Copies of this chain bind each other. A is one copy, B any other.
Amino acid sequence: MELHVLFHSVHQLSRQIMKCNNTVLQEYGLYSAQWSVLYVLKQRGRLTQKELSEYLAVEAPPMTRTIQRLVKQGYVRQVPGQDKRVKFIELTELAEREYPVWEQAVLEMNEKTIRGFSKEHQQQLQKLMTEWLSAMERHQGEEEKK
Q: Which residues of A contact B (CB under 8 A)?
A: 1, 3-18, 21, 36, 39, 56-57, 110, 112-117, 119, 121-126, 128-133, 135-136, 138-139
Contacts and interface: CB of A to CB of B under 8 A. Distances in A.
- Looking at A39, A115, A116, A131, the one whose CB has the most chain B CB atoms below 10 A away is A116
11 contacts: A4-B110, A6-B129, A8-B56, A9-B130, A11-B18, A13-B14, A13-B129, A112-B139, A113-B136, A116-B135, A124-B128
A14 to B, nearest CB: 4
The secondary-structure label for the interface of chain A is helix
Contacts of A138: 116
A75 B128 CA distance: 37
Contacts of A1: 119, 122-123, 126
- Looking at A1, A11, A114, the one whose CB has the most chain B CB atoms below 10 A away is A11
3 closest Cβ pairs, A-B complex: A116-B135, A14-B14, A9-B129
A10 B139 contact: no
Contacts of A122: 1, 3, 6
A123 to B, nearest CB: 6
A117 B139 contact: no
B16 A129 contact: no
Given A6-B126, A124-B128, 9 more contacts: A3-B122, A6-B114, A9-B130, A16-B133, A113-B136, A116-B138, A116-B139, A117-B132, A125-B132
